Amino acid sequence: MTQPSPRLTTGLRDQAFRWIADDVDPDTRTELQTVLARAMGGDADAVAELADRMAGPLTFGTAGLRGPVRAGPNGMNPAVVVRTTAGVAAWLTSHGKAGGTVVVGRDARHGSAAFAVAAAEVLSAAGFAVKVLPGPLPTPVLAFAVGHLGAVAGIQVTASHNPPADNGYKLYDDTAAQIVPPADREVEAAIADAPAAVAVPRSPDATTAGSDVLETYLSRCATLPRGTARTLRVAATPMHGVGGDVLVRALRAAGFTDVRLVAEQAEPDPDFPTVAFPNPEEPGATDRLLALAAEIDADLAIALDPDADRCALGARDGDGTWRMLRGDETGVLLGEHVLSTTDSTDPLVATTIVSSSMLGGMAEAHGARYAETLTGFKWLARAGEGLVFAYEEALGVCVNPGFVRDKDGIAAAVLACDLAATTKAAGRTLFDVLDDLAVRHGVHLTDQVSVRIPDLRARAELMDRVRTAPPATLADVAVTAEDRLPEADVLRLRGEGLRVVLRPSGTEPKLKVYLEVTADVPAEEDLPESRRTAAKRLTALRTELSQLLDR
């Protein structure tokens, strides 16, 4: 039976008219007027599009706002940014931060420049001392600036590694870390109470931050290397994002001068023309990088995501082929480097509940403290006093919590070059170091199963079904369930040598399932067999979980 075409309701039509009347930007007014006119003319597709655009507002998720650049409350546009910033200003004022400094930064995506100006103008009119970073810069530079300038907040306009059509708005508080609950809900409530965008006062009184902010950040990065070796050839890509120039300058400041960028991806380009999805984790995204690394006989390959807060590493394997390291491999390599060289008397290292558990064993071996947090650097940055290192499996690494309380792809790249150069000088490779860690702490293999479920209710029902009737065994191993953690919809299944974590994504319409299998390595010569055993169990585990979630 044919479903009836959607029809434009009076309520939807009036809602669109009100938004258009209150919009602050002539281009987005015209954009929404065009969609509304088509819908009023009986275009069913336009009715559906209008309903989607008006289905907002965007909500604060794992990292603030994020959505498509388009007119309407369910998109990123000047009106949404104006009302959001009015809410942020009210929230700051309610917490006694009125008149303080707020830093505003941006990437080079579509709309970023205009959104940063809008945010700065609203904050200035609200009485804050606004410092705008000079031009598009990496998110870690904004995070650094908040602490460096003693700001009460920081706003970065960025959608990180989202598709080209998206943009976003990331908020940092006066601790120079991303906001955590209940701040996100408080900000949302303040946005809901904000007046229409046309009624929000704006002032052009913001000032541009001096070049000293970036120079100081670079000088801090130059202090990160632990060793003295600097002979290293690096292939790198900023993936059409804003990290290229800053990465090269940071590496040069640290003594690593032989750096070649993927030419087609070296400059910021909001259309990301050479990658289907600008995320180093995505298949094919680093093909050009690995080809360059092989061509120039590099020692290390580095891929940043577009706002340069994530760092992926690539290296030449024993058979001569290049491959990218998994996030957990990068995490334990850099974690071991920090643990073995830190001068902290009581160091703390941290990772998330979905990352490899190997870091815990490494910390114990070094006499360091270890913490696991919920996913996201807003939690990792707050793991505890004495934090010297943190990472998450999704390529987020913090090697410099003393001056950036967030993931920092630039700083991670500097320390990775230090490790690679030190390892090269000793006649070894990063894969040799990974083998050493496996022999000492056991094989730890990780993987992920993602089930796309756009319907939030269906996703919740699936989680409830697994929670109510969890499997008794997985991959022939008895497992027990650990129910949801505080403030998080998370289910963990544990058994001898395996772990499964299920959680709904905070940024994508997916249910994510994180798998880990471990195996002891009795002696160095047993490593290949231990890896084969673990790999076989991981394959079985992945198959069973896929079947379980497909029912």
- Give catalytic residue positions: 160
- Residue given tokens 């006119």 in the structure block: 37
Which two three-digit tokens encode residue 90? 């009210």
**C-alpha–C-alpha distance, residues 126 and 102, integer Å:** 11
* CA distances in angstroms from 83 to 191, 311, 407, listed in the order given: 6, 33, 28
**C-alpha–C-alpha distance, residues 124 and 100, integer Å:** 10
| Residue type for position 310 | R
Half-sphere exposure in the Cβ direction for 274 (13 Å, CA): 20
Half-sphere exposure in the Cβ direction for 507 (13 Å, CA): 19
Nearest of 163, 158, 395, 167 to residue 276 by alpha carbon: 163
Which two three-digit tokens encode residue 249? 């300058």
**C-alpha–C-alpha distance, residues 360 and 410, integer Å:** 25
- Residue given tokens 């249910």 in the structure block: 511
| 3-class SS of residue 533 | helix
Tally of CB atoms within 10 A around 546: 12
**C-alpha–C-alpha distance, residues 346 and 388, integer Å:** 10
Which two three-digit tokens encode residue 85? 């910033």
